Structure 1
Amino acid sequence: MKRREALVGVIEALHGEIDALKSNDIARLEAATARKLRCIEDAAACDHEEPTAELNDLAREAHRLNETCRIYVNLMTANVRRRLQVLAGSPNAPYRPTGAAAYA
């Protein structure tokens, strides 16, 4: 597989991840993530290919889509945290990590 095809596969998989995140479809999310990881490995295996403007554009698009996925995951995490705070009876409690060390 050439790097271009691998990067196109990464982009397609990232679109699949975004769609799965939007619909809360865990099975599709797992499948898209597995495909994305395989395509990333395929792209990395083509490191002998000279970078071109097209490859750079594809890599930037993949990065942009990956950032979109990260934002969706962070929003979902914030929503779950807020719901848990409401269930715990502290709807206005700010998020604070717990641990052995406390900082003043």
Structure 2
Amino acid sequence: MIRRDALIRVIESLHAEIAALKANDAAALERATSDKLGHIEDLARLGNGPAGDDLRDLAEEANRLNETCRIYVNLMAANVRRRLQNLTGGVGPGYRRSAGIAAYA
């Protein structure tokens, strides 16, 4: 396996992660994440060396896709937090009235 192939597999796994996040499919997300981590390990085993434009472009694409995954996860976490707060009647630490401090209109 060459580094280009390993990077392409990482990118494919990131696409699968995004699809699983969009579908809210935990099993598919677990598989895609496991695959991605395995491909990253394969890439690490191939070592470092000079990277041409093709490898840099693939690495940048992988980085962009990883950032997209991070954004999806953060949005999902915010939605869960909001739903839990709605269920429990909590409004979050930034909006609670502190004890002993009066609010003035």
TM-score normalised to structure 1 length: 0.85
Counterpart Cα distance in 2 of 1:93 and 1:35: 36
Q: Which residue of 2 aligns with 1:26?
A: 26
Counterpart Cα distance in 1 of 2:36 and 2:48: 21
Q: Which residue of 1 aligns with 2:36?
A: 36
Runs of 4+ in 1 over 2 A off after TM superposition: 92-96
Q: Tell me which moved more, 46-55 or 6-15.
A: 46-55
Change (3 A) 1:47 1:82: same
Q: Which residue of 2 aligns with 1:102?
A: none
Shift of 1:50: 2.4
Q: Which residue of 1 aligns with 2:51?
A: 51
User: SS of the counterpart of 1:79?
Assistant: helix
Gapped runs of 5+ residues in structure 1? Answer: 97-104
Q: Which residue of 2 aligns with 1:64?
A: 64
TM-score normalised to structure 2 length: 0.84
2:32 is the counterpart of 1:7: no
RMSD (CA atoms):
1.6
Contact 1:3 1:43 in 2 (8 A): yes
Gapped runs of 5+ residues in structure 2? Answer: 96-105
Contact 1:10 1:36 in 2 (8 A): yes
State the identity as a percent.
Answer: 61
Aligned length: 95
Counterpart Cα distance in 2 of 1:43 and 1:10: 9
Q: Deviations over 1:57-92 (max 9, x none)?
A: 1000000000000000000000000001111112x4
The structure with the largest alpha-carbon Rg is 2
Shift of 1:48: 4.6
Shift of 1:94: 4.0
